[in-house]
C-alpha cells in the first residue's frame, strides 16, 4: 500500500505539512499519535516515550520489556522471537519498527512523520520519502515563538533535536539523515509555503498513480 514518509528538520513545518496532505488526500496520518500507540503497547505515558525516542542516549527498558511480555507478536515482523532480557535503546528501535510495520499493514494509505520511518522503509515498495527543511534562522525564530524562550535556548533546542535525529538514523540504520539521496522529494519552507509544499507532495503522489 502507498506510504508517504516525512522527515523534517526541527521547526521546519514538516508535521503541519503532513497534516495538510493527510486532510487533502484523506489518508491516515501517524504523527504524535504514533507516540501514543507505542505508549499504549508499553504501558508508558506518551511523554515518557517521547522523551526517549529519536535519541541515541538513554535506555527504554520498561518499553521493551512490556512489549516482549505483553505483546510478543509485535516482533513477528522481524522474524525474531523476543529475547529474555532488554534494556538498550535498540529495544526501543525494535518496538518502533514493529509499530511502523503494523501501521503499514493496517492502513490502505498512510503518512508517517519522523520516527526513522524513511530509513526503516527504505526498501519498501510504494513509498514516497519526503524531507522538509528550512533555513536555520527561520527555525530558530519559530522555536522562540513556539517554546517562548530566548534566542540562545532556541538555538540549543534546534541543534540538539536535529542532532538527536541525525544520530538515531546513523546509529541504527547507518544512513545519513540529511543525505538528499535518501529521499524522493526535498522541500524548503523558507521558499515554499506549507500549502505549496503540501501541493507538491500531492503532485508527487499523483505522479506515482496513488491519487487522482
Mean pLDDT throughout 40-54?
62
Q: What pLDDT shows up at residue 103?
A: 82
Task: Indicate the domain borders of the chain.
Answer: 1-27+109-205, 34-106
Mean pLDDT throughout 130-139?
98
pLDDT tens digits for range 136-151: 999 999 999 999 999 9
Mean pLDDT throughout 21-46?
75
pLDDT tens digits for range 48-60: 666 665 553 332 3
- Identify the CATH number of the domain defined by range 1-27+109-205: 3.40.50.300
- Average pLDDT taken over every residue of the chain: 81
**Is 199's pLDDT higher than 50?**
yes
Mapping DSSP onto H, E and C, the string for the chain reads CCEEEEEECCCCCHHHHHHHHHHHHCCEEECHHHHHHHHHHHCCCHHHHHHHCCCCCCCCHHHHHHHHHHCHHHHHHHCCCCCCCCCCHHHHHHHHHHHHHHHHHHCCCEEEECCCHHHHCCCCCCEEEEEEECCHHHHHHHHHHHHCCCHHHHHHHHHHHHHHHHHHHHHHHCCCCCCHHHCCEEEECCCCCHHHHHHHHHHHHHHCCCCC
Amino acid at each position: 500500500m502507498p506510504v508517504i514518509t516525512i522527515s523534517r528538520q526541527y521547526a521546519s513545518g514538516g508535521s503541519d505539512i503532513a497534516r495538510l496532505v493527510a486532510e487533502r488526500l484523506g489518508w491516515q496520518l501517524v504523527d504524535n499519535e504514533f507516540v501514543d500507540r507505542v505508549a499504549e503497547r508499553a504501558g508508558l505515558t506518551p511523554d515518557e516515550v517521547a522523551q526517549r525516542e529519536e535519541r541515541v542516549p538513554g535506555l527504554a527498558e520498561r518499553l521493551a520489556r512490556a512489549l516482549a511480555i505483553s505483546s510478543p507478536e509485535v516482533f513477528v515482523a522481524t522474524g525474531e522471537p523476543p529475547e529474555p532480557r532488554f534494556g538498550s535503546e535498540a529495544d526501543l528501535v525494535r518496538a518502533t519498527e514493529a509499530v511502523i510495520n503494523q501501521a503499514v499493514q493496517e492502513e490502505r494509505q498512510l503518512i508517517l512523520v519522523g520516527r526513522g520511518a524513511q530509513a526503516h522503509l527504505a526498501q519498501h515498495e510504494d513509498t514516497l520519502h519526503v524531507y522538509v527543511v528550512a533555513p536555520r534562522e527561520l527555525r530558530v525564530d519559530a522555536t522562540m515563538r513556539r517554546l517562548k524562550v530566548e534566542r540562545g535556548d532556541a538555538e540549543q533546542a534546534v541543534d540538539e533535536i536535529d542532532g538527536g535525529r541525525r544520530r538515531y538514523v546513523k546509529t541504527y540504520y547507518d544512513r545519513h539523515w540529511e543525505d538528499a539521496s535518501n529521499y524522493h522529494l526535498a522541500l524548503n519552507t523558507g521558499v515554499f509555503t506549507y500549502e505549496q509544499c503540501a501541493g507538491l507532495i500531492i503532485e508527487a503522489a499523483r505522479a506515482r498513480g496513488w491519487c487522482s
